[in-house]
Chain A
Amino acid sequence: MLTIRKGGMQTTVQDLGRFGFQKYGVVASGAMDPYALRLANLLVGNEDNAAALEITLMGPEIFFEEDAVISICGGDLRPELDGRAVGLWRPAAVTKGQTLTFGKLHIGSRCYLAVAGGIDVPKVMNSRSTYLRAALGGYQGRALEAGDQLTIGKAVVTQKLATQEESWFAPSPSYSSEPVIRVTPGRQYNLFSDDSRKRFFSEPFSLNSQSDRMGYRLNGPRLSLSEKQEMISEAVAFGSIQVPADGNPIILMADRQTVGGYPKIAEVITVDLPLISKLKPGDRLRFKEVSVDEAQRLLRLQEKKINCLKRAIQLKREVMT
């Protein structure tokens, strides 16, 4: 059992998302940085899709009512166990009675706390992800607050993987301060003016403060179509970059609606989604074009690396027992 002493800015239960129900208008949700969530889970011996806590900008304070193995992946929010720094991208042992706190935001904007066994909340439509707007899933459909108590599921691997001091860690993506985000051309890319298409790739954008789990609003060159057109709404995806009439692009994130009626200039490739989700208001970014073939090649390559890591973790566990 975990007892929440402070909720933090927005701490929610998330897994990889709620799929199969988008045709009924049900938003997919899930982790903003699916890569960090998966790695956090693998490091504690969970399935990729186990539920973990998504922690945003200001972390929570969590009291452990039982022994646990945890892993924190993603941005660096300076986590500490009873005042002692906890390393990221590696498993760590927690003893009953210890308190996990977070400090000042150092790198990125959010991180994932996985616990061996996963966070045990009821599945709603086959997922434990929280969708705040509809108060769906997760812990009572809302962000965590002081006094909430979370049950830890039964760990798949019972033996301990971690001692308090682990020296090894999993490779983390380079969360650079001004990332170059690779995109494939959007469905309506050719409807944009020559000037807009050129500036989209040549000039930097910055993240607007009105950004949340639903969408990231960007400031930068105003983009426009070569001629005004009414669009017919169609499906959108995680990473779709829509441009409303005001010309400021919006990157659709985990809590995106299922369909959208604005023209899409580009689509962020899956392997670069973690770089987007780590951005915080004011951060800058640039876009670079790649083909769908290239995006899928990169995705398969990343998957190979994750599989290698999975095997390495298994071997490590065998050695330790």
Chain B
Amino acid sequence: MDPSEAEFLAEKETITIIPNFSLDKVFLIGGDLGPFNPGLPVDVPVWFALNLKQRQKCRIVPPAWMDVEKLEEMRDLERREGAFTPVPSPFYMELSKLLLNYASDNIPKADEIRTLVKDIWDTRIAKLRLSADRFISQMEAHARLDNLTLMEINTIRSFLLDSLNCMYRLRSNLQPGSSKDRADY
């Protein structure tokens, strides 16, 4: 999967905005939006919030977890724990990236948040690499991956799955009869 597709899915999450215009309810196929009144917060999907932001028609309220103290806590926990800790949003990476790129003026301490999210991401990816290594060296057939997000899975997907397939093919050639010959092509 392309990272942009993970971002596409992240854009479906809802976020609070404070519009500076007024508009009646909009009846979209995927649900209703609005009504919009200047100064009154309203929940909309991220793709719409970013579009309004780019047209300077709203202020984005950053999600509650996008806060220096909370993220610091998370980073420390992530470093202490051996397993993956629960993330505040299944799209934390994509959302931080989108919001920090397009609405950094609405986010207090945007630079610190950027660094913290990157730290959390790095710690998690390091864990992910370690566990992938263990998975392969112990030749496991099943792994549980709670708390991993789509983007994290994505970074390792093609590499891990292709190597597992290759190893499977090599192994099934070593054990004749255990699987039918795949060298057809």
Verify that A and B bind, or say they do not: no
Chain B residues proximal to chain A, CB less than 8 Å? none
